[in-house]
Amino acid sequence: MGNFLSRFNIHLNTRIDQREVYRIPPHHKCRNCGQGCDPSKSENTCVNAKYTRTGTKDQPAVYRAVVPNNKINWSTSYEYQPVEFTSEKVRTSTKEYVDKDPRDDPKVEIPWNLDDRLCDRRSYHGPYKVVRRVPQNPCGRTGLTGRGHLGHFGPNHAADPIVTRWKRDQNGQIMVHPRTQRQILEFVCILRKDTNEYAIPGGMVEKKEKVTDTLQREFHEETLNFPDLDERSKHNLLATIKDVFENGGIRIYCGYVDDPRNTDNSWMETTAYNFHDGNNEHLALIEVHGGSDASKAFWHDLGSETPLYASHADFLRKVADIHNAHW
């Protein structure tokens, strides 16, 4: 694998840190409970609101105020009474990168819409409003104020690496799906420990970290445990991954994401990149294993049949379109 770059037809793209505005993906899951229901069927109730996605194993569920679809936009008049929620873990954190609440302390000044020493507070969608000293979610009401489980007010930046290969039979031939008659992709999939859902490996951009570094770090942490590799093989594999992740890929999306952690004041934005090994030369040969935030990691068929966490299905559908693969 050492000289794979001379053979690898990699898709170069514009720099990841170039700030562009991208179309916000549709909300495939209910903002009120995080499930795959349709709250538009009722103006006042959510048909699936037995619990909200703010609940964790260690903390009781916190119910969001139900927001009808036609009242999500801030410009729409609505008697809105959201629930205030910031998790105990976030509220009591002493870590420097976790924001203090400026509503509680007038001495707290946060440079909204700027790149400060702790994090990049700029949104991919341009300047956001600041109302009563905290940012306002540019995509509208969520039924919840505060930071929820997120460390920052405003945008919380993440990165999602989508690693793909063609699914092949025992003779090495690319397999075709019987329904769509299109070739089948496989992607590196994880089972999240927190929600027990299938997802793309990914995570938060750390302080002053480049998105390219986050993509590589999260892929390493969540999918590569190296249980059977000696030190030399481990070193060679890491060098290969580093080369691939630093030399290109296809940018799939960059912007706001429909995430169950979003609140009126804190929200997720991500950069998703596809790294495809179409000739089984490097990434396709990796045997993945669950890491820090994943109970499992494995190669999984890419297709609409698999229910996925948050907006990950939107990203994978774009990957399928790019490669003219089954979806």
Query: Per-residue pLDDT for the chain (327 aa), expressed as one digit of tens each?
Result: 433 333 333 333 333 333 333 333 444 444 444 444 444 444 444 443 333 444 455 556 777 888 888 888 999 999 999 989 999 889 999 888 899 999 999 999 999 999 987 789 999 989 999 999 999 999 999 889 999 999 999 999 999 999 999 999 999 999 999 999 999 999 999 988 877 889 999 889 988 788 888 888 888 777 776 656 678 877 887 888 888 888 878 999 999 988 888 999 999 999 999 999 999 888 888 888 776 666 788 999 999 999 898 889 999 999 999 999 999
Give the model's pLDDT for residue 239: 86
Query: 304 in a domain, yes or no?
Result: yes
Give 307: exposed, middle or buried? Use CB within 10 Å, 0-12, 13-18, 19+: exposed
Task: Read off the CATH number of the domain in which 316 is found.
Answer: 3.90.79.10
Query: 150 in a domain, yes or no?
Result: no
Half-sphere exposure of 276 (CA within 13 A, CB side): 22
Query: 144 in a domain, yes or no?
Result: no
Q: pTM higher than 0.85 for the full model? A: no
Query: 17 in a domain, yes or no?
Result: no
Tokens linked to 280: 């089984």
C-alpha 272/C-alpha 277 separation (Å) is 17
Query: 76 in a domain, yes or no?
Result: no
Domain interval for residue 172: 157-260+270-323
C-alpha 290/C-alpha 221 separation (Å) is 8
C-alpha 170/C-alpha 93 separation (Å) is 52
Beta bridge partners of 250: 274
Query: 297 in a domain, yes or no?
Result: yes
Query: 51 in a domain, yes or no?
Result: no
Tokens linked to 40: 């538009």
Number of domains the chain is built from: 1
Give the model's pLDDT for residue 232: 84
Tokens linked to 129: 């409003």
Burial 70-90 (b: 16+ CB within 10 A, else e): ebbebeeeeeeebbebbbeeb
Give the model's pLDDT for residue 285: 84
Query: 49 in a domain, yes or no?
Result: no
